[in-house]
Copies of this chain bind each other. A is one copy, B any other.
Amino acid sequence: MKTEREIFNDYLSKMNLRDTPQREMILDTFLKREEHITAEQLYDIVKKTDPSIGQATVYRVLKLVVEAGLAREVDFGDGVMRYEHAYNHPHHDHLVCKGCGKTVEVRDDIIEEMQKRVAESFGFLLTDHEMYLYGLCGNCRGKNK
């Protein structure tokens, strides 16, 4: 089982890209966090370790991390892209509480299967999908009268 660092380095050499301290640092910082994170949030954290790092570099490295298969983009529709771990975190969809913003990762094989069938019934070859379920979590259900 390869480590994330190995996968990232393999991707860099395969693409003839260079191994830089910034890239390693940003990747490591991303990997340490478990939750969905935005580029700006990651930038803020990274600056604490190395204040000289540029914002553009964080955006650039996040893109590489996605291409290397270690991260996945998540779009909750609020205009900001978030990133989540993709390594050892198989595909899933998201349940999002509109009250408190809490998210839960969900996966349902029946839904996945039906999605493929629906696409095929229109002659489409399904390559991927996005599904966001919005609602109110247990805590927030009671609050808004």
Contacts and interface: CB of A to CB of B under 8 A. Distances in A.
A129 B130 contact: no
B95 A118 contact: yes
A132 B133 contact: no
Query: How often does this chain occur in the complex, in copies?
Result: 2
Contacts of A133: 115, 118-119, 124, 126, 129
A90 interface: no
Contacts of A130: 77, 130-132, 134
B95 A124 contact: yes
Contact of A114 (B111, B123, B125, B129): B111
B136 A124 contact: yes
6 contacts: A108-B118, A110-B114, A123-B138, A124-B137, A129-B131, A129-B132
Interface of A: 75, 77, 95, 97-98, 104, 106, 108, 110-111, 114-115, 118-119, 122-138, 141
